Structure 1
Amino acid sequence: MALNKTLLLFFVLFSCSCIPVQGPRNSARSQEASEATPSKSASVPLAPIAPTASMPGPIVAAPAITPTPATLSSPITKTYTKSYLPSKTSITNPERGLYSQTTLSDTTPGKIKTLAGTGLTLMRLLVNLPRVTTLPSSLFNSLENAFLASRQYGIKSILRFRYSVSSSDGDAPLWMIEGHIEDLAPLMQKYADVISTFEAGFIGAWGEWHSSTNDLSNTQDRAAVLHSMLTNFPQDSFIQIRTPMYKKDVLNYLANFPDSETFPRRIGHYNDCFLASDSDYGTYASPVSSWKDFIAKEGATLPVGGETCRVYAPRTNCQTALFEMAMLGWDQLHQDYNLDVINIFKAQGCWNEIKDRLGYQFQLGSMKLVTTALAGDKMELSLSVNSRGFATTFKKRPLLVVLYNETRSYKFSTSIDTRTWFPGKLTSQSTTITIPKEVIPGIYRLGIMLPDPSEELASNSRFSIRFSNEGTWDGNSGINILFDGIEIFEK
C-alpha cells in the first residue's frame, strides 16, 4: 500500500511538470498582428463613416474593428500583388460617351435630371441667339440655370451658339458675333467646369460654318470668330470644328497671332454626317484618306464626336463604324440621331460596344505594393492600366492616392497623367508616397481618385473617373479602392 501511494504521488508531480505555461494574451495578439497575412476586404464587414476635414462627404469605411496602436508595434515588410476583374456592366464616366441634344429654350433642371438618370454625362446644348446688338438678360438667366443644374446632376455640355436653325435661315454679321462672344465670356468663365467643349458655331446654317448669309464662309472671317472664342472663352477650354480643312486653314491664317502655338491643341473635331457618304457629306475633301489621317494623328488626345445623318449602305455598318471611331479617337456620339443608322448598329450587334468604348475607358490590370509601413516611411505603388476606349482623356486631371480608414484620410498628389494612357495599350505606372510622420497607426484602405480638375467639382463624385472593374468603386467618395488592409505602425 505504501508503495502504491509513492507511485501515485510521483505520477501527479510528473504530470504537472508537462503542462505548458501561457504568456500574456496581449503579447500573443501583438505577434499575430505583425505576422498575419493581409486579407481581402470582402471578408470584413464595413460600415459608413462620418466625413472628415480632409475627405469631404461620406465614404465606405475601413474594417469596423481596427486594431489599437499598441498592437501595431513590430512591422514585418509584406509585399502584396493583386489582379482586378473587369466590370461586367457598362461604366459611365464624365466627358465621354453618348449624348442627347437639347435647345436652351427646352432645357430645364428637371430635363437635365432626367438625362442624368439615364446614365448620360453629356448633352449637346444648342443656344439659338437673336440677331440683336444686346443679348437679353433672360438668355443669360436660362444659361445659368442650366449650368447650375448640370453641377447638381453630373452633366457637362457640348455647347454650340448659333443664329441659324435651318439651311435657309440667316446668321449675323461679324461685328455682332464678336460682340456676343465678349458678352457671353464672363458666364463661360464662371461655369467652365460644366462645359465639356464648345463647338465652333455662330457662322452659317446650324452654326456649321457654311452657307453664311453674311458672307462669312471664308477663312478670314472663320478665323476671326475662332480667335475670338479662343481668347475670350476659358483658356483651358476646347473648341470642336466642323471639318479638318477648316482647322488647317484657320490655323495657317492665325499662325502669327499671339499664343498661336497653343491653338492646335485646343481645337478638336466634330462630324455631323458620320458614315453618310464616301466623304461624310463634305466633312472630308479629296483625298479623303489624307484628311482622315489628319484627325487620326491627334484625335486620341483631342475631343472628337458628332452624329450620323443618313443611311449609306457602303459605309453604314458596324465594321466601318468601329474601325473609324477607333482610328479617329471618337469621344462623343449623339444617341438620338439618326435613328435609322443607330438601329443598324443595334441590329448588327455593335451598339453596346460603341457605348462602352467612346472616349476613354480605363481598366485596372494588376497592383503591387508593400502593405506595411512606419509613419514617415515611403511607400511605392505599381499599377498596370488597360486603356480600352477609342481615345484617352483630352483634359488633364489630378490622380490622387488616398489612404483612409474610419477616422482619418490622407491624400497624396502624383505626377501621373492619364492623357498618356493611349487607347489599346497596357500602361505600367509607379508612384511613391510618403506616409506623414503624424499619421495615426492602424489599418487603412488604399485607393485612387481621379477628380474633376475644377475646384467647384473636385469633391463631387459624379464627375470623378471610375475604373472599369468589379468591386473597386465607391460612388459616394469617388475613390477606386485598390487594397483594404494597409498596416501603418508608429515609428
Structure 2
Amino acid sequence: MKTSIRLMLITALFPVLIWAQTHVVYQPTAENIFNPERGFYTMYTAQSESGQLSLTAINNIKNKKQSLMLRFYYFKKFLNSDLSQKQLDIIQNDFNTMRQGGIKCILRFAYSDNIGVADAPLSVVLRHLDQLKSLLQANADVIYVMQAGFIGAWGEWHSSTNGLDSDANKKIILTKILEVLPKTRMVQVRTPLYKQRIFSRTSPLTLSESFTETDIARVGYHNDCFISSYDDYGTYQDTLAEKNYLNQECFYVPIGAETCDQCTCSDCANAMIEMARLHLSYVHSDYYAPVISKWNANGCLPEITNRLGYRYENLEGIFSDSVKRGNALHFELKLRNTGYAVLYNKRKAVVVLRNITDTTKAYFAALPVDPRYWQSNDTTTLSFAIEVPHAIPTGNYNLYLSLPDTAAALKNNPLFAVRFANTNTWNSIMGYNNLLVIVNVNDTNGGETVSDPLSFSNGLTSIEKSENDVPNSFLIVENFPNPFNNETTIYYQISNDTHVKIKIFDSLGRELETLVDKEVTSGKHQTTFRAGKYASGIYLCVLYSENGYAISKLVYLK
C-alpha cells in the first residue's frame, strides 16, 4: 500500500486544494468462499406432508461452503385435491429454517418422480399455484430462483400423463407461475426451446429488456443433463444455435445445471469452456457423482467451485485518507468479476464509513450503480465524490464496500452479503469488504470541494432504497420513450420549491453531464437528455434536492 499527494484545481472560484490520498493494491485469494445465490448446491427432496427441513441439514450444507439448496417438493398426495394446511405449513417452516440458517433455495414442485407416474390435471396445478402464492410472496427473500416444475416426470416438462406437456399448457402454467411469484424473482424452464415457443421468439434478450421484470425478462434455464452428450440428452434440438442463444441470453437470466452421465464432453477442459460460454450460476454437487469425481481427480474442481456464478475481486483503489467535514471523500475503486455469471437478483453497492474507536457510529452511501451489470471477465471502475457531512463526528474511520441483501429480514445478516475474493478484507461480523484505508475526519483539511456529491447518512435507508423508491418531496417519472434513440424526455414532479440538479451517469457510475441546475417551483417539470454522443447502454438519471435524491434507469439504443 502506498500514499500519494495529488493536486486538484477546482475552478477559478476556488483555490488550489491539496489533499492526501491512499492508493491501495488488493491481493486476490484462491479460497473457496461462501457467497449467496451461486455455486454448488445440495438437493433435499420432500414427499407430501413430510420431510421438513432442520437446521442440522442447513448447517451441513454451509459446512460444504454452499449457500444454495434445491428444495424439491412432490405433491403426489394431492393429484386431485387442494394442498393441505399441513403441507403449506411445512413449506413455510422450511423457508423460516432457511432464513434462520443463512441459505437460499432453488425451488421446484412436481407430482411425478418417474416416467409413467401420474402428474395432476391442469385445473389442479393452477389451484395449487393459487394456494402457494402467499407463501411465495412472503418468502421471496430466501428464494434464489424457482424452476417451472409441475409438468411430467420430475417436473422436467416431459412425459405428462395429463397432457400438461403441450405447448399450450406449458404456456398457461408458466404464465401462472410468473403471476404468483414476486416480480423480483425469476423462473427457469428446462430447455431454451420451451421459452422460445412460449414467447414466439428465437432471439435472445437485449440490454434494454434486461432486469425489467417483464415476463420474458424473468425466464431462465435449468439443464438437468449438462455436458452429458452432444445435445445433452435432448436438451437441444439445434445444439450450436441454441448454445449461441444462451451465451447472449444468460447475461441477463440465470442458468443452472445438473450432470446426468459421463462422456468426453464432461472432461475438465470442455466442462469449463461450456460453463463460461453459458454463464453457469450453479451445479448439483452430488449428481452425477462420477462426473464430479472426475473433475476432482483431474484437478479442475477448485476452479469450477470458485467460478460458478459471480466472483468479484477488488484490484486497486484511490481514496481520500483525510477529509474535512463538509468536503467530499474521493472514492475510486477498480474491481473485476472472474466468475462465469453475474448477480441476477437486485442488490445495492454501499460505501460504509465506520468509526474505529466507536464502532456503533457507521455512515452509509448507496452508489448509483447496478452490480447486475458487472459481467464475467469485465473490469469496472467506481468513481465518486461522497460528502462527509458536518454531523459526522471527527475521528478515524475504516472504509468498506458492502453488497447487502435488499430484503429487510436479511440486509443485516452477513451470510447474505457478498464477499469479495481478496485476502484480509472480509469483516464476517458485519458482512463488509474492508477497503484497507483509514479515513481521518476532521475540521482542518482534506477531501474534495465538488458540486453535488453523494453523501453519507447515519441510517440504512440508503441501502434499502430501490431505484424506483422516491422520497415524498419529489418524483422522477420514467423517461419517455424508454428505450430511446438519440433523445428522451425526463418528467419529474416537485412538491415544494427547492433547488434541483439532475445528472446523468453511465452504468459504471461515471458522471457524464448535468441536465438541470436551478431553483424549481413545486409542480410538474420536464427536461431532455440527448445521448447522440454516447454509446448504446444503460444510463442512470439522478435527481438531487435538499431533501435527498432519486434514481431512474434510462436505456439508450442507437
TM over 0.5: same fold?
yes
Distance 2:236 2:113 in 1: 23
Q: 1:386 to 1:110 in 2, by over 3 A?
A: same
Task: Please say if 1:204 is aligned against 2:152.
Answer: yes
Question: Which residue number in structure 2 is paired with residue 340 of structure 1?
Answer: 290
Equivalent residue letter for 1:308: T
Secondary structure of 1:92's match? coil
Secondary structure of 2:58's match? helix
Given that 2:251 and 2:375 are in contact with CA atoms closer than 8 Å, whether structure 1 keeps it comes out as: yes
Given that 2:22 and 2:437 are in contact with CA atoms closer than 8 Å, whether structure 1 keeps it comes out as: no
Q: How many Å apart are 1:300 and its aligned residue?
A: 2.8
Q: How many Å apart are 1:108 and its aligned residue?
A: 2.3
Task: Please say if 1:140 is aligned against 2:104.
Answer: no
What is the aligned counterpart of 1:266 among 218, 222, 225? 218
Greater helix fraction, Structure 1 or Structure 2: 1
Distance 1:400 1:421 in 2: 15
Q: How many Å apart are 1:483 and its aligned residue?
A: 2.9
Given that 1:329 and 1:359 are in contact with CA atoms closer than 8 Å, whether structure 2 keeps it comes out as: yes
Question: Which residue number in structure 2 is paired with residue 128 of structure 1?
Answer: 74
Distance 1:276 1:158 in 2: 22
1:213-245 Cα shifts (integer Å, max 9, x gaps):
001111110000000010111111110110000
Equivalent residue letter for 1:229: I
Secondary structure of 2:120's match? coil
What is the aligned counterpart of 1:414 among 364, 367, 384? 367
Task: Please say if 1:90 is aligned against 2:29.
Answer: no
Given that 2:321 and 2:437 are in contact with CA atoms closer than 8 Å, whether structure 1 keeps it comes out as: no
Task: Please say if 1:284 is aligned against 2:236.
Answer: yes
What is the aligned counterpart of 2:380 among 411, 427, 436? 427
Distance 2:132 2:249 in 1: 29
Question: Which residue number in structure 1 is paired with residue 164 of structure 2?
Answer: 216
Question: Which residue number in structure 2 is paired with residue 79 of structure 1?
Answer: 21
Q: How many Å apart are 1:270 and its aligned residue?
A: 0.6
1:431-468 Cα shifts (integer Å, max 9, x gaps):
22111221101111100110001111000000000000
Given that 1:200 and 1:207 are in contact with CA atoms closer than 8 Å, whether structure 2 keeps it comes out as: yes
1:301-356 Cα shifts (integer Å, max 9, x gaps):
3211120001123x121111000100000000000000111111112211111100
TM-score (norm 1): 0.81
Q: Which protein has the larger Cα radius of gyration, Structure 1 or Structure 2?
A: 1
Q: What runs of 5+ residues in structure 2 fail to find an aligned partner?
A: 5-16, 202-210, 445-558
Once superposed, which parts of structure 1, at least 4 consecutive aligned residues long, lie more than 6 Å away? none
Question: Which residue number in structure 1 is paired with residue 542 of structure 2?
Answer: none
Task: Work out the percentage of aligned pairs sharing the same amino acid.
Answer: 35
Q: How many Å apart are 1:261 and its aligned residue?
A: 8.0
What is the aligned counterpart of 1:456 among 399, 403, 409? 409
Question: Which residue number in structure 1 is paired with residue 197 of structure 2?
Answer: 249
Question: Which residue number in structure 2 is paired with residue 350 of structure 1?
Answer: 300
Given that 1:99 and 1:121 are in contact with CA atoms closer than 8 Å, whether structure 2 keeps it comes out as: yes
Distance 1:441 1:176 in 2: 64
Given that 2:21 and 2:320 are in contact with CA atoms closer than 8 Å, whether structure 1 keeps it comes out as: yes
Distance 2:379 2:62 in 1: 31
Greater strand fraction, Structure 1 or Structure 2: 2
Given that 2:326 and 2:389 are in contact with CA atoms closer than 8 Å, whether structure 1 keeps it comes out as: yes
Root mean square deviation of aligned Cα: 1.8
Aligned residues: 413
Question: Which residue number in structure 2 is paired with residue 303 of structure 1?
Answer: 254
Distance 1:284 1:477 in 2: 44
1:40-59 map, 5 Å: none
Secondary structure of 2:345's match? coil
Q: How many Å apart are 1:89 and its aligned residue?
A: 1.5
Given that 2:74 and 2:110 are in contact with CA atoms closer than 8 Å, whether structure 1 keeps it comes out as: yes
Equivalent residue letter for 1:101: M
Equivalent residue letter for 1:232: V
Distance 1:468 1:260 in 2: 29
Task: Please say if 1:111 is aligned against 2:57.
Answer: yes
Q: How many Å apart are 1:377 and its aligned residue?
A: 1.3
Task: Please say if 1:446 is aligned against 2:399.
Answer: yes
Equivalent residue letter for 1:332: Y
What is the aligned counterpart of 1:155 among 103, 107, 113? 103
TM-score (norm 2): 0.72
Question: Which residue number in structure 2 is paired with residue 384 of structure 1?
Answer: 334
Q: How many Å apart are 1:138 and its aligned residue?
A: 1.3
Single out whichever of 345-354 and 323-332 deviates more from structure 2: 345-354
Question: Which residue number in structure 2 is paired with residue 360 of structure 1?
Answer: 310
Distance 1:356 1:196 in 2: 19
Q: How many Å apart are 1:374 and its aligned residue?
A: 1.2
